[in-house]
Chains A and B, each alone.
Chain A
Amino acid sequence: MTDTASPRNERARFELARFERPSAISFLGYALGLVIIFWCLAGAGFSLEKVASSPPRFADFAARAFPPNLDPQVLTRLGWKMVETLQIAVAGAVIGVILSVPVALLAAKGLIAGPLVNQIVRTGLSFIRAVPDIAWALVFVVAVGLGPFAGMLAIVIDTIGFCGRFFADDMEATDKGPAESLTATGARKLDVVACATIPGSLPAFISTSLFALEKAVRSSTILGLVGAGGIGIELKVGFDLFDYPTAMTVILMIAVVVIGIELVSGWARTKIIGEQR
Chain B
Amino acid sequence: MRDTLSSTISSVTDLLLRSPAAPDVLTEQTGAAFAPVCSVEIEARALSKTFGATPIFSDVSFRLARGEATALVGANGTGKSTLLRCLMGLIPTSGGTVHLLGQQTDKATGRQMRNIRAQVGLVSQKHNLVPRLTVLSNVLHGLLGKHPGIRHWSHSLAPQFSRETAMQALERVGLADFAHRRADRLSGGQSQRVAIARAIVGAPKVLFADEPCASLDPSAGEDVMELFFQLVRDENVTVVFTSHNIEHALKYGDRLLGLAQGRIQLDATAASLSSADLRGLYD
Chain A residues within an 8 Å CB radius of B118: 185-186
Q: How large is the interface on B (under 10, 10 to 19, 20 to 34, 35 or more residues)?
A: 35 or more
Q: Provided the pairs A180-B128, A181-B122 are in contact, do residues A186 and B141 lie with their beta carbons within 8 angstroms?
A: no
Residue of B with least CB distance to A182: B141
Q: How large is the interface on A (under 10, 10 to 19, 20 to 34, 35 or more residues)?
A: 20 to 34
Could you list 11 A-B pairs, sorted by A, with CB under 8 Å? A178-B130, A181-B122, A183-B90, A184-B88, A186-B117, A186-B118, A191-B144, A191-B152, A195-B133, A199-B130, A200-B131
Assembly CA distance A192 to B119 (angstroms): 17
Assess the B153–A181 pair: CB atoms within 8 A. no
Most buried by A among B117, B128, B149: B128
Chain A residues within an 8 Å CB radius of B88: 184
Given contact pairs A180-B90, A181-B124, A186-B119, a sample of 18 additional A-B residue pairs in the complex whose CB atoms are under 8 Å apart = A178-B128, A178-B130, A181-B122, A181-B128, A182-B141, A185-B117, A186-B113, A186-B117, A186-B144, A186-B145, A186-B146, A188-B114, A188-B148, A191-B144, A191-B148, A196-B141, A199-B132, A200-B130
* Chain B CB within 8 A of A36 CB: no
Chain B residues within an 8 Å CB radius of A202: 132
Chain A residues within an 8 Å CB radius of B133: 195, 199
Assess the B128–A177 pair: CB atoms within 8 A. yes
Residue of B with least CB distance to A179: B128
Assess the A186–B132 pair: CB atoms within 8 A. no
Assess the A180–B124 pair: CB atoms within 8 A. yes
Chain B nearest CB: distance from A47 CB in Å?
A: 58
* Chain B CB within 8 A of A276 CB: yes
Assembly CA distance A76 to B150 (angstroms): 48
Chain B residues within an 8 Å CB radius of A199: 130-133
In the complex, which residues 127-158 of chain B have their Cβ closer than 8 Å to any Cβ of chain A?
128-133, 137, 141-146, 148-150, 152-153
Chain A nearest CB: distance from B274 CB in Å?
A: 34
State the majority secondary structure of interface residues on A. Answer: helix
Assess the B131–A186 pair: CB atoms within 8 A. no
Assess the A183–B128 pair: CB atoms within 8 A. no
Assembly CA distance A194 to B124 (angstroms): 20
Chain B nearest CB: distance from A105 CB in Å?
A: 15
Assess the A194–B122 pair: CB atoms within 8 A. no
Assembly CA distance A183 to B118 (angstroms): 9
* Chain B CB within 8 A of A187 CB: yes
Cβ-defined partner of B130 (8 Å) among A183, A188, A196, A276: A196
Assembly CA distance A178 to B118 (angstroms): 16
Chain B residues within an 8 Å CB radius of A194: 150, 153
* Chain A CB within 8 A of B195 CB: yes
Cβ-defined partner of B114 (8 Å) among A178, A180, A186, A195: A186
Q: Provided the pairs A180-B124, A181-B195 are in contact, do residues A187 and B130 lie with their beta carbons within 8 angstroms?
A: no
Assess the B150–A177 pair: CB atoms within 8 A. no
Q: Provided the pairs A181-B124, A184-B88 are in contact, do residues A191 and B153 lie with their beta carbons within 8 angstroms?
A: yes
Chain B residues within an 8 Å CB radius of A276: 132
* Chain A CB within 8 A of B233 CB: no
Assembly CA distance A192 to B128 (angstroms): 13
Chain B residues within an 8 Å CB radius of A196: 130, 141
Assembly CA distance A165 to B141 (angstroms): 28
Q: Provided the pairs A180-B124, A199-B130 are in contact, do residues A187 and B148 lie with their beta carbons within 8 angstroms?
A: yes
Assembly CA distance A18 to B150 (angstroms): 62
